[in-house]
Amino acid sequence: MDQAEAQKRAQKLRDLLDKYGYHYYVMDDPIVPDSEYDEKLQELVKLEQDFEELQTSDSPTQRIGGAPLDAFVKVQHEIPMMSLGNAFHDQDLRDFDRRVRQGLSESIDYVCELKIDGLAVSLTYENGRFVRGATRGDGTTGEDITSNLKTVGSIPLRLNEPVNLEVRGEVFMPKRSFERLNEQKEKAGESVFANPRNAAAGSLRQLDPKIAANRNLDIFLYAIGNDYEMKTQTHYEAIQYMKRLGFKTNPESKHCEDIEAVIEFVNSWVERRDELNYEIDGIVVKVNHLEQQEQLGFTAKSPRWAIAYKFPAEEKITTLEGIMLSVGRTGAVTPTAKLKPVQVAGTVVQRASLHNEDLIREKDIKIGDQVVIKKAGDIIPEVVRVLEELRDGSEEQFDMPSTCPACESELVHLEEEVALRCINPQCPAQIQEELIHFVSRNAMNIDGLGEKVIQQLFTHQLVSGIADLYKLEKDELLKLERMGEKSVQNLLSAIEVSKANSLEKLVFGLGIRFVGAKAARTLAEHFETMESLRRASRDDLLAIYEIGDKMADAIVRYFELPEANALLDELKELGLNMTYKGPKKQEAVSDTALSDKTVVLTGTLERVTRNEAKELIESLGGKVTGSVSKNTDVLVAGADAGSKLTKAEQLGIEIWDEDQFLDKTAT
C-alpha cells in the first residue's frame, strides 16, 4: 500500500471509528459489536505506525493513552470557572427567584440540570478539533489534562462543525465502573476509593494516561464557556447546539417556565436519584436567557443567575465520645465533636464541627450522647440532633472554658459575635494557623510546607510569624526530623520561588477577614501594587463591583494596624514581589468622553448587551463598577432603572440614557 492509499484508508477508518464511538459512548446505542470496533482500531494503529505522517491529534488511536507525563502544566481559564451558591429547601429556590426578579424587570424562565458528582473540566476546540482540556482548579487556574481527557470515549476529538469554542462539563465514573475498580484494588491489596467522585478525580490526575484509559470514565457537557461565534440566545438552545456538534449532554435537563416548575422538577428527583447509573448530589438551576445572565452578572464567588439545589443528606446514628477545642487563625475557638467512626455518604466520619457554645446548648448536646449526624451539602459532617430517649444518665455536660486552650489568655465575645475568641496576637495556635494559610495552595503555594512541617518549625522556634519563613537556613532545617538534604533544598527553593508570586497570592495569604482568593485577585488587578492597596479608602474599595461593605471595612481596618504594615515592609525587604503580574486591563485611551471616568450601568439596555457596553467603556479608557458612590462620574441608565438611578440623582452624578451613551462613545 502506497502513502496515498494509506491516507485514504486511514481517513475512512477514522470516520467509521468516530461514528461507532459516537453511538457507543454518546448515544449509548452500539451499532457494531466491540470486536468490529477493536479490529478497525488496530488496523488504524498499524497504518499510523507504518506511515507516521498520517497520525493526527484527533485520531481515535489517541484515546489509547500516550507516554507518561512528568507533571501537569498550569492553564489559565479565559473565563473563570466559578462555583455556585447553594439551596437546600424550596424556600431557598423561591428566594433565588426573588433576587433574580429584582435584578431583571422582565419575564424569566429557567433550565434545570442534574448536578453530576464528578470533576469539572474545560474543553477547548479550534476549527472543530480538541486542542486542550483542563481541570477547574481554583476557578481561575487549572491543570492541563488533555492527554487523560483524550482517553474518555464520550469526548469528541473532532466536532461536526469546524467551530472555535470552549465548553464545560463534568467527568464522572459510572457506578458499575466504580464497583469494578474497587474490586480490582481490593484483590491487589490496595486502598479503595471512598466514592465515584474521588475515583474520577484520581483517574484524571494520573501522570500516565494509560491508567485513565482503563478507568472507563464518562462525561456530560453542560455549558458553553466561550463561543467565539455565538449562535445561541438561551442556555437551553446552547445545550441543543452542543448535541448537534457531537457532545454528550444529560438527557434529563429540562426547560421550566417558572420557579414552581423548577421546584416540581427538583422534588421529583429527590427520591429517583438512585435509579441512575451515576451519582448526582443535586440539581443546578440556571436563568435561561444568556443576555439576562449577563445583566445579572456575578458576585466575587458565584454567578447571580444560577444556584445549586443540594439533596437532603444521608443521616446516621453514632456516639459522641468527646468534645475537642481548636483555635483558628482569627482567634475563634471552635468546639469539635469526637465521634465513634461511622460511614456517611461514602467516607468514614470521626469528627463534626459544633460551631459554638450556643449550638451545643440549643441542641442539648452532652458527651456520651447517641447523635444523628449527616454531611451538610454531602461534604461537611454535622450533628443534626441528640437522641435524648436513649440516654442512660452517664452522659456529661460540656462547658466552654474561659481561657484559650492554646495560650490561656482570657476568651472574649466580640460585639455581635456568637463565637468565643482569643485576642492574644501572640497566641501560638493562631500563629500556626496563619502560617498554614499563608503557604496554602491558593495563597503563596509553597510546596513542602504542609501542616506538620509548620508545626515542627514552630515547635523548634524556627518561625514565629510569616516573615520568618523567608529567613530559614539550611543548617537549621537539616536538624529537623525527616528533613534530609534533598527535601531541605527543595523546600528552600520553593520558598524562594514564592517571592515572585503575583500580588493576589500575597493579598490572599495575609488572611484579611472576608477576603477570599477571588476577591484578592480582584483587588490586585484593580490596584496593581500593594502600596496602592494599602492607601485605598473605603470609597475606593466600594467602587469595585465585587467588594461589599463588610469586606471594605475589614480591608481598611487591616491596613490601619501597625503590625500589618510592619509585616509588609519586612516582606518587601526580604524580596517579595508587591505588584500584580496577571493580565493587565486595556490601557486608557486619552481624549475620549470616558477617559479616566468611572461608569455604572443600570437598567435594561436595548441596542447593546451589558457586556458590549462594558467593553466599549473600557476600550475608551473608562472603568465600570457595580455600585454608585461619590467616585462615580457617569451613570448609564437603561429602561426600568431603579435604586442606582435614584442615588445618582441624589449625588448629582451625570446621567446618560442609552442613546446619549452610544452618541458620546461613537468613533
Q: Is the model's pLDDT at 667 over the cut of 60?
A: no
pLDDT of residue 291: 86
pLDDT of residue 152: 92
With beta carbons less than 8 A apart as the criterion, state whether 614 and 598 touch: no
Q: What is the pLDDT of residues 44-99, one digit of tens each?
A: 878 877 777 777 777 777 766 555 556 688 888 888 888 888 898 999 999 999 99
pLDDT tier at 587, thresholds 50, 70, 90: very low
d(Cα 642, Cα 651) in Å, to the nearest integer? 15
| Average pLDDT taken over every residue of the chain | 87
- Please name the residues in contact with 573: beta carbons below 8 A apart, sequence gap of 6 or more: none
Q: Is the model's pLDDT at 135 over the cut of 60?
A: yes
pLDDT of residue 48: 79
pLDDT of residue 400: 92
Q: Which of 476, 496, 464 is nearest to 576 (CA)?
A: 496
With beta carbons less than 8 A apart as the criterion, state whether 447 and 496 touch: no
With beta carbons less than 8 A apart as the criterion, state whether 658 and 610 touch: no
Helix H or strand E encompassing 421: strand 420-422
Domains of the chain, CATH where assigned = 3-64 (1.10.287.610), 85-310 (3.30.470.30), 314-422 (2.40.50.140), 428-498 (1.10.150.20), 503-573 (1.10.150.20), 598-664 (3.40.50.10190)
d(Cα 107, Cα 102) in Å, to the nearest integer? 11
Q: What is the 3-state secondary structure (H, E, C) of 586-636?
A: CCCCCCCCCCCCEEEEECECCCCCHHHHHHHHHHCCCEEECCCCCCCCEEE
User: How far from 588 is each of 77, 157, 546, CA to CA, in Å?
Assistant: 24, 41, 21
Rounded average pLDDT over 559-574:
94
Q: What is the pLDDT of residues 378-424, one digit of tens each?
A: 567 889 999 999 999 999 999 999 999 999 999 998 776 788 889 88
Q: What is the pLDDT of residues 206-262, one digit of tens each?
A: 878 888 888 889 999 999 987 656 678 899 999 999 999 999 999 999 999 999 999
d(Cα 163, Cα 222) in Å, to the nearest integer? 18
CB atoms within 10 A of CB 598: 18
Which has more confidence, 205 or 93? 93
Q: What is the DSSP string of 575-593?
A: T---B--SPPPPPPPSSST
Residue keyed to cell 461534604: 379
Rounded average pLDDT over 96-109:
89
User: How far from 99 is each of 537, 570, 601, CA to CA, in Å?
Assistant: 29, 45, 18
- HSE-up (13 A, CA, CB side) for residue 270: 16
Residue keyed to cell 454535622: 382
CA 300 to chain CA mean position, Å: 12
Q: Which of the residue ranges 31-35, 364-368, 416-420 would you say has the lowest mean pLDDT?
A: 31-35
What percentage of the chain has pLDDT greater than the value 90? 48
Q: Which of 664, 662, 666, 663 is nearest to 606 (CA)?
A: 662
Helix (H, G, I), strand (E, B) or coil at 547: coil
Residue keyed to cell 490601619: 560
Residues identified as active-site: 115
Which has more confidence, 656 or 605? 656
What grid cell was written down for 317?
Answer: 446514628
Q: Is the model's pLDDT at 278 over the cut of 70?
A: yes
Q: Which of the residue ranges 59-68, 95-104, 151-160 would you say has the lowest mean pLDDT?
A: 59-68
d(Cα 363, Cα 346) in Å, to the nearest integer? 26
pLDDT of residue 326: 92
Which has more confidence, 271 or 404? 404
